[in-house]
A and B are shown apart, each in its own frame.
Chain A
Amino acid sequence: MKYLRGQRRKSQRNQEYRRNGIAALSCVATLVLFLTPAYSAEPQSANPDTTPRGGESTHDLTGLSLEELYNLDVIQLNVIGGHTHPAHEIMFGYQFMFMDMGDHLSGTRDVSEAEILKHFPSASTGMTVEEHMVEVMYAPTNKLTVMAMLPIKRIDMDMVMDGFHFTEHSAGVSDLQVLALYTVLGSVTKGHRLIINLGMSFPTGSIDEKNTILGETFKLEYPMQLGSGTYDFRPGLTYLGESKKWAWGAETRTALRFGRNGSGYRLGNEYELTGWVGYAVTDWFAPSLRVNGRIWGNVHGADPDIDPTVDAEGDPDRQGGRRVDFLMGVNFFVPNGIFKRTRMNIEGGFPIYEDLDGPQLSTRWLISAGLTYSF
């Protein structure tokens, strides 16, 4: 009976995901429809308004040489990875990310729930992470772009204990990230660029997420917490290449953590290496392929309020892993009309290699969609 109820609860949740998925899809479809008239609209030169406009912001590009102008993209095509903006440009962006996790891995070996339940009284059966990220970018000069990102997360993890199914849930603001991107070599117009990323994240995300289940309040496991609780350094390096029709690049990203957070631990460092290529089929549409490799460490120290013996997720030594994702994307640009500087991208993929200090839930698939507007 308990089990049946659990199942019902689970299917309810699945149904909700399906509903959320449909909502997200219809959102994307609406946006596409919304943007379509913009690029089929008359070019702006036909605008009959001839009144001179004063006091409006404009970018003075007269400092650029003839060759630079010749190679300058009207809309910049490289959307993946760290990008910079020309001087005095501001960008607002919104990114949606969703990750679905299931089936356990220990190393690269599949581990069944039954096997986990031999060692722990409780086991996870699935997990979803939903992230909404708001970003703002500003370029004080052509070489320097600064950006701030605030992710908002929603994490759900299905658990089973003595045949009873329940779901752990946490949601809220994650860690605020501030980044400075500095172009050290090349420029937009040269076809190759090297950008140094110096970043920091601030512990704005909660590390004190709790749930009450069966009348008992307990602290949620490490993967369910919303932030790192520490001030993290996030250095990185971006290489961007652009030709007439192709855009490619590679990027490293890291999160270096020191000390201990307020709960007595720190998350493991993260190292990420990604490489991609995109091809502009038309001036408003470019599909892309990306491979993303990631290594992340175990938790150092431990939160005394998280019992490492109840489930694997609560064990500081079962958090790290290595993963390589293969991702396919589509990127849309609006070449003219009032949404001229709007870009939209949707990317989805799955791991092609995964090795976890488990047993841990493995990633089934992930999807992200973003919308940016510059002015």
Chain B
Amino acid sequence: MRDADRHLLLARTFAARRLFSLAALLSVACFYFQAPHQASAQSLSSREYEIKAAYLYNFIKYVDWPSYGDTISIGVLGSDPFGPALAPLNGKTVKGRRLVIKHLDSVRDAQQCQIIFVSSSERQRLQEIFESLRSARVLTVGETQGFADGGGIINFIEENNKVRFEINAEAARRTGLNISSELLKLARLVKS
């Protein structure tokens, strides 16, 4: 091979390789720079909260309240971690009643709800919340360590990459709620 040929060949292959690497890098970069934008808009509607929202919906079917109004209300107390995940529940019909999602400013508004979800932002005030709900027929659901043993009824836990829950059956009985055995069967049972 003449040297000129060799240089031409080398130059061509190297140029092609550089171009190729650049294109590959760019496509990765595009993917990465685009991803965070979608992710930040998406971060609150994560799978975890989609699952938790669907659980809340299912709990209604497995829990009996002593009395009902025309609607069944789920109240979110504290900062809402669900993002858009609760929206599909709003207006659905369960047990022949319309489901309503509420955002609560204070635990006093919780009296009209069948379920209140206590956000982990309230972890410092849990005892206070349980105290003021003492006489209310409310299913308390949380996602804070010690929520159920502390007096809450259902607490979400993460187990093997799955969302599962603890139930304090005694707390439910005290509140006058009847939890079906099917729900209890799946739960990890805790005591106060």
Interface residues of A (CB under 8 A from B): 2, 5, 9, 16, 20, 23, 27, 43-50, 52-62, 64-67, 69-75, 77, 92, 94, 132, 134, 152, 154, 164, 166-167, 169, 171, 212-215, 244-245, 280, 283, 333, 335-342, 371, 373, 375
Contact = CB atoms under 8 A, between A and B. Distances in A.
Interface stretch (B75-83, B106-114, B125-133, B168-176): B75-83
Interface of B: 1-2, 5-6, 9-10, 13, 16-17, 20-21, 23-24, 27-28, 31, 35-36, 38-51, 53-55, 57-58, 62, 79-81, 83-85, 87-89, 92, 103, 119-121, 143, 158, 160-164, 182-183, 186
Given A48-B121, A338-B43, A59 B20 contact: no
A198 to B, nearest CB: 27
A188 to B, nearest CB: 11
Given A61-B54, A74-B47, A45 B186 contact: no
Given A62-B57, A72-B162, A215-B5, A94 B47 contact: no
Nearest to A65: B58
B1 A213 contact: yes
Given A45-B121, A338-B36, A70 B84 contact: no
A158 to B, nearest CB: 12
Contacts of B103: 50, 52
B161 A58 contact: no
Given A45-B81, A214-B5, 4 more contacts: A47-B44, A69-B58, A70-B162, A214-B2
A278 to B, nearest CB: 12
Given A58-B87, A77-B161, A154-B20, A53 B44 contact: yes
Given A53-B84, A62-B54, A65-B58, A134 B27 contact: yes
Nearest to B163: A74
A131 to B, nearest CB: 10
A60 B160 CA distance: 22
A59 B49 CA distance: 10
Which of B55, B121, B158, B160 is packed against the most chain A CB atoms within 10 Å?
A: B160
B182 A166 contact: no
Contacts of B186: 66-67, 70
A339 B42 CA distance: 10
Given A45-B121, A215-B5, A58 B28 contact: no
A94 B54 contact: no
A62 B88 contact: yes
B4 to A, nearest CB: 9
A61 B92 CA distance: 13
A84 to B, nearest CB: 15
A314 to B, nearest CB: 20
Contact of A214 (B1, B13, B35): B1
B84 A43 contact: no
Contacts of B41: 56
Nearest to B164: A70
> Lowest 8 A-B CB distances belong to which pairs?
A61-B54, A60-B88, A45-B81, A56-B84, A338-B39, A58-B84, A45-B120, A62-B57
Contact of B50 (A20, A61, A373): A61
Contacts of B36: 338
Contacts of B13: 167, 169
Contacts of A333: 161
A43 B158 CA distance: 12
B39 A339 contact: yes
